[in-house]
């Protein structure tokens, strides 16, 4: 089975931070990559960096997690998908989403990592308040 590749994309260096945090918990991850849109860059710069990152990868084994729906990084990859690229793009990146993806790769089991990402968003004050009752 071919190794799956995960590419984290973001405005600024959020993607690098999420990768570093995931590695703190899960260990070094050779199949997780980052592409960051820096303040001095535009869509064409980001596209060039993204295309360089995926060159040589089996495009059907690539999953991309973007920080924000409708932002430049997600829009650039969305246009590539609309142009026929077989990339799986998910927006709303968070650490639970990435960790669940990593766990599914390590275990070889299918996972609904999007649900795990959504479940990672918790109003802790509300949860604690409901526990007191």
Q: Which domains does the chain have, with CATH numbers?
A: 5-132 (3.40.50.510)
Mean pLDDT calculated for residue range 114-131: 94
Mean pLDDT calculated for residue range 120-131: 94
- 16 touches 42 (CB < 8 A): no
Full-model pTM: 0.94
Strand order in the sheet with 62-66: 32-37, 5-11, 62-66, 88-91
3-class DSSP state of 101: helix
Residues in the chain: 133
Token pair belonging to 22: 């995931």
pLDDT of residue 2: 59
pLDDT of residue 110: 85
Mean pLDDT calculated for residue range 98-118: 92
Measured distance CA(69)–CA(13) in Å, rounded:
17
Measured distance CA(75)–CA(87) in Å, rounded:
13
């Amino acid at each position: 089975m071919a190794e799956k590749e995960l590419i984290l994309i973001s405005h600024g260096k959020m993607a690098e931070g999420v990768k570093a945090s995931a590695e703190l918990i899960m260990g070094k991850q050779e199949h997780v990559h980052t592409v960051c849109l820096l303040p001095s860059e535009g869509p064409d710069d980001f596209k060039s960096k993204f295309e360089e990152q995926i060159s040589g990868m089996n495009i059907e084994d690539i999953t991309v997690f973007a920080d924000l729906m409708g932002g430049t990084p997600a829009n650039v990859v969305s246009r590539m998908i609309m142009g026929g690229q077989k990339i799986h793009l998910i927006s709303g990146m968070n650490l639970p989403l990435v960790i669940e993806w990593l766990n599914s790769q390590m275990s070889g089991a299918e996972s609904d990592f999007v649900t795990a990402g959504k479940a990672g968003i918790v109003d802790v004050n509300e949860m604690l308040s409901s526990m007191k009752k």
